[in-house]
Structure 1
């Protein structure tokens, strides 16, 4: 397993790879107490513990904690990748219909804002890491 991240997390430029010492699956954020520096993934299911909001149970861990031993610059030139559109949650006509309905809802005072989204699925030829590296190279951000 590898953790690749932007140097902005470290106050540095570039792409880094973290050396993972250990992975822990926890039931609560309270189990993080006393942990050394690491990378944490918090599940939405924690809302039931932190905000007292009822959330449907999941078989996934509430917290994934990666204990890290260091960061190293990732010096790798990305290989070519290709994305091919596989599907969309809207046809062009269906999307235009949804836009018209949204405008009607706003005009009727039902809502004042509506975020219309469309899901696109793509087939990836190549490595997900190479896709990320190409994206980062073409869209550098400090975080």
Structure 2
């Protein structure tokens, strides 16, 4: 997903985002509009992706008819001229028995842990979020 952001491929970001976030944003069209506007605003603000690496997905958790895992991610960004390192995660979600994953960016979840339960209300209880931090280099 960060690779799609780095390329400016908002359509891929929109297509691969889990429907729960689209619903929270007011529906498919509202989410698509917000995604396009956000990518444009970040580029205009001078945010560029230098590198992005996904780690090994963690264990899978039950979430009703879906399953969820966390994929660690480390990104090097440049905000204007300032380099930054982001250690975060993606939330990968798929219907049980399928191979098509949809994603949620986990960067905001440590500061708002109730959001994960709102987006995935059937997620088994007791799920611990991976660590997340951003640091200037």
Which TM-score applies when normalising by structure 1? Answer: 0.19
Q: Which has the higher contact order (CA 8 A, sep 6+)?
A: 1
Indicate the structure (1 or 2) with the bigger Cα radius of gyration.
1
Q: TM-score, normalised by structure 2?
A: 0.20
